[in-house]
Amino acid sequence: MRRLPLRLLRSATSALRVPTVTQGGLPATPALHPAAAAAASSSPLADLSRWPQQRGYSQFASGFTPLKPKPLESIIDVERAKGLSPEHLIAAWDDYHLGRGHIGASMKTKLYHLLEQRSSTCRHFVIPLWEGSGYTTMFMQVQMPYMIFTGLEDYKARGTQASPYYTVTHYTEFAETKDTVLIRGDVVFTSKLTDSEAKTLLETAHSFYLNDVRYRLVERFNKETHEFEFKDVLQVLDMPTM
């Protein structure tokens, strides 16, 4: 397939801006989700107390706009992109984000609508991320078109003051015309999450909302907390329960 010249894509060298609390941000949540507490108590997470407190970031779970997400027109030439095939648009999007400290992905519109529907009633989940000889558990919050991730131990210790490690934005500008939703992930703290781990985390998060069997665990986490078992998540990901 012919690769699209990257002149389609605009420069994205502007510095990340600090997230701000707005009424249109994510909804307030308890200091610690009950099932998240259970997951935390059953997983051997790294001690996060040695990490210095990050300043200049607003509340994670009580209404912040993730990193003032860049509008799509500040990343690509939207008018020129309208004349491209979905394949060429996706190729250019993926090429642009390769090795830039951001994650680029895409999905079909039907899957995005399913993700939107399911996350509307199940906004939270916990995902173990394998790191060498063990795993770190991430807590995620979803309000489409955004996904926000932070370390579960950080969330457990700091509640609504926990800072996001990683934010994801889904762009729906071409959902109807090209059956394509573009996805951009931004790693906030590179000391806590590599690009490769961020990519894996995004793929895993999508799989739990889009796969019927895995989504049952998400529903249990949000709606039947007393029946949720973190080991079930480890098992479906083929991770040792330790």
Is residue 206 a part of any domain in this protein?
yes
- Collapsing DSSP to helix, strand or coil, 183 comes out as strand
Q: How many domains does the chain have?
A: 1
Is residue 108 a part of any domain in this protein?
yes
Is residue 106 a part of any domain in this protein?
yes
pLDDT at 195: 92
> For the chain, what's the residue count?
242
One-letter amino acid at 36 equals A
Phi-psi region of 87 (alpha: psi -120 to 50; beta: other; left: phi over 0): alpha
Partner residues linked to 140 by β-bridges: 125, 149
Residue 139's domain comprises: 86-237
Q: Do 137 and 122 touch, CB atoms closer than 8 A?
A: no
Residue 89 tokens read as: 């648009």
Q: Provide the whole-model pTM.
A: 0.76
Tokens 């790294």 identify what position? 46
Is residue 120 a part of any domain in this protein?
yes
Residue 139 tokens read as: 């807590």
Is residue 95 a part of any domain in this protein?
yes
- Give the Cα separation of 196 and 206 in Å (integer): 16
Residue 25 tokens read as: 């941000």
Partner residues linked to 61 by β-bridges: none
pLDDT tens digits for the chain (242 residues)? 434 443 444 533 332 233 333 333 333 444 456 666 666 554 433 322 222 233 223 344 434 444 567 899 999 999 999 999 999 999 999 998 987 779 999 999 999 999 999 999 999 999 999 987 889 999 999 999 999 999 999 999 988 788 899 999 999 999 999 999 999 999 998 889 999 999 999 999 999 999 999 999 999 999 999 999 999 999 999 998 86
pLDDT at 242: 66
Is residue 162 a part of any domain in this protein?
yes
Q: Do 74 and 10 touch, CB atoms closer than 8 A?
A: yes
pLDDT at 208: 98
Is residue 37 a part of any domain in this protein?
no
Is residue 105 a part of any domain in this protein?
yes
